[in-house]
Amino acid sequence: MIKEKLVKFGKVILVVLFIPFLILIIIGVFLYTPIDFIRYRITKYYKDTKEKYTWMSTSSYYIRMYDSIMKADLPIEYIRRKEVRLNGYGYFFYKNFLILDYLMFYDKEINAWTAEVIEDEGYIRVEEAVNRDIQEFNEYMNAEIVNRAAILVCNDEIDKFSIQELENCEILLVAQDDITTALKNFITIHD
């Protein structure tokens, strides 16, 4: 008898706790999606490609970077990977540099900078991530087009002097998501 009352009370508590939480999530989705859809429709990426909207497209690094590059009229090329359903997924490159954006952290255990590449794999050394991305791009293009990388780093806690020289890549520090200035400076140096 007491056990049945406790089970019933537990179910009531769960319903009381989870229903408001579920309602908040549903309201958030229904409010955010139309705003995100409108933002996507006014991007340079959409105007150029007319790709169908996918949920949370405007938070995509690829679309933000594409818009920054095109609005600034930078000589950076973009190759779209159409087999991947994410809006904007592709490659940016300038001359022999593949332009990448990694979330980097210093791993004290291995005494090296690491980057999150694929969620399942966790973090790997930046050099490994760069080599893998360069190889993947060249295989996709069926030619050896790039052999170096420029990494855009937005992490506030990283300064250029704390990152030792990395093999075959340059670090471009981006101040407060100002991708355009970092890329303009990079192009000026390598022109």
Phi, then psi, of 34 in degrees rounded to 5: -65, -35
For the chain, the structural domain boundaries read: 42-190
In percent, how much of the chain has pLDDT > 90?
Answer: 23
Q: What is the tens place of the pLDDT at every residue in 131-142? A: 988 998 999 999
Q: What is the tens place of the pLDDT at every residue in 44-87? A: 989 988 888 888 888 887 888 899 899 999 999 998 887 776 66
Question: What pLDDT, on a 0 to 100 scale, did the predictor assign at position 138?
Answer: 93
In percent, how much of the chain has pLDDT > 70?
Answer: 86
Predicted confidence (pLDDT) at residue 161 exceeds the cutoff of 80: no
What's the mean per-residue pLDDT of the chain?
82
Q: What is the tens place of the pLDDT at every residue in 11-35? A: 778 777 788 888 888 887 788 888 9
Question: What pLDDT, on a 0 to 100 scale, did the predictor assign at position 17?
Answer: 79
Question: What pLDDT, on a 0 to 100 scale, did the predictor assign at position 129?
Answer: 87
Q: What is the tens place of the pLDDT at every residue in 103-120? A: 788 788 888 888 876 666
